[in-house]
Amino acid sequence: MAIIRDQAIILHSIKHGDSSLILHVLGREHGRESIIAKGARSKKPRFGAALELMTHSEIIYSHRHTREIQMLREARVINSFLPIRNDLERTALGLAVCELLRMVTPVAEMSTDIFDISIHALEAISNAKKNVRNHFWRFELDLFRPLGIGLTISNCLHCGKKLSSLQGNEVEFDSINGAVRCPECKTSGGMSIPMETFKILEFLNRSKPQAVENIKISPRAEKGIKSALWLHFRTHLPIRRELKSLQALSWSI
- Alpha carbon distances (Å) from 245 to 38, 92, 221: 28, 5, 20
Quick one: 49 or 159, whose CB is closer to Zn ion?
Answer: 159
Piece in contact with Zn ion (CB under 5 A), picked from 17-25, 158-166, 197-205, 234-242: 158-166
Quick one: 50 or 182, whose CB is closer to Zn ion?
Answer: 182
Q: Are 179 and 157 in contact (CB under 8 A)?
A: yes
Q: Kindly state the smallest distance separating residue 162's Cβ from Zn ion, in Å.
A: 10
For residue 9, which of 69, 59, 65, 84 has the smallest C-alpha distance?
A: 59
Distance between CA atoms of residues 139 and 158, nearest Å: 27
Quick one: 4 or 191, whose CB is closer to Zn ion?
Answer: 191
Piece in contact with Zn ion (CB under 5 A), picked from 10-18, 23-31, 91-99, 180-188: 180-188
Q: Kindly state the smallest distance separating residue 144's Cβ from Zn ion, in Å.
A: 22
Please tell me whether residue 185 binds Zn ion under the rule CB under 5 A.
Answer: yes
The dihedral over CA atoms of 71, 73, 78, 82, expressed in degrees to the nearest 10, equals: 70
Q: Kindly state the smallest distance separating residue 185's Cβ from Zn ion, in Å.
A: 3
Quick one: 102 or 158, whose CB is closer to Zn ion?
Answer: 158
Q: Are 97 and 121 in contact (CB under 8 A)?
A: yes
Q: Are strands 31-37 and 191-194 parallel, antiparallel or unpaired?
A: unpaired
Candidates 38, 158, 223, 236; binder of Zn ion (CB under 5 A) is 158
Site string for Zn ion, 29-68 (x = CB under 5 A): ----------------------------------------
Q: What is the DSSP letter of 50?
A: G
Please tell me whether residue 78 binds Zn ion under the rule CB under 5 A.
Answer: no
Candidates 78, 159, 176, 253; binder of Zn ion (CB under 5 A) is 159
Please tell me whether residue 147 binds Zn ion under the rule CB under 5 A.
Answer: no
Distance between CA atoms of residues 148 and 27, nearest Å: 20
Distance between CA atoms of residues 21 and 19, nearest Å: 7
Q: Are 229 and 137 in contact (CB under 8 A)?
A: yes
Q: What is the DSSP letter of 248?
A: G
Candidates 119, 121, 156, 228; binder of Zn ion (CB under 5 A) is 156
Quick one: 51 or 163, whose CB is closer to Zn ion?
Answer: 163
Q: Are 40 and 46 in contact (CB under 8 A)?
A: yes
Q: Kindly state the smallest distance separating residue 37's Cβ from Zn ion, in Å.
A: 54
Interacting residues with Zn ion (CB under 5 A) = 156, 158-159, 182, 185
